[in-house]
Amino acid sequence: MSGSRWVAPALWAILIESLTSWPSPPSFGAPAGSDKLAHIMLYAVFGYLVVRAAQRGKPSPSSMILTLIALTVWAALDEAHQLLIAGRTASVGDWISDTAGVALGIAVRRVRALRPTQRVA
């Protein structure tokens, strides 16, 4: 397993932790519930990157399950960590959105890995 494959997931993890460590982030007048979409998208990318780094080619069921478990725990710890940040709160709804995003990212990676590769003649 090449260490360079883990650079993108590590950088994405740093991005997520930086965003969730921001005290009292600005509100941009987004519609109610749109933050859940942001959670889903951030964690979908995270899930995709981690399962891609964990296994080249078609991800095995075990690598997908382990990625889902690990990133679900990560998301729960991230929500708990927000309790320590002024102006932030923890939310079960956010954690569920994070978990849904991880599952989505893993599924997208699986589908992409199943597509036949096109060879240029």
| Domain residue limits at 71 | 34-114
Whether residue 86 lies inside any domain: the answer is yes
Whether residue 7 lies inside any domain: the answer is no
Whether residue 85 lies inside any domain: the answer is yes
Whether residue 3 lies inside any domain: the answer is no
Q: What is the pLDDT of residues 69-80, one digit of tens each?
A: 999 999 999 999
Residue 57's pLDDT is what?
86
Whether residue 83 lies inside any domain: the answer is yes
More confident site: 111 or 34:
111
Query: What average pLDDT does this structure show over 33-62?
Result: 93
Taking the alpha carbons at both ends of the chain, their separation in whole angstroms is: 30
Whether residue 29 lies inside any domain: the answer is no
If one counts the domains in the chain, the total is 1
Kindly report the backbone phi and psi dihedral angles of residue 14, in degrees, each rounded to the nearest multiple of 5, phi listed first.
-65, -40
pTM of the model: 0.88
Which of 44-53, 80-89, 94-103 has the least mean pLDDT? 80-89
Whether residue 24 lies inside any domain: the answer is no
Name the helix (H) or strand (E) containing 77: helix 61-81
Whether residue 99 lies inside any domain: the answer is yes
Question: Which residue's structure tokens are 């987004």?
Answer: 30
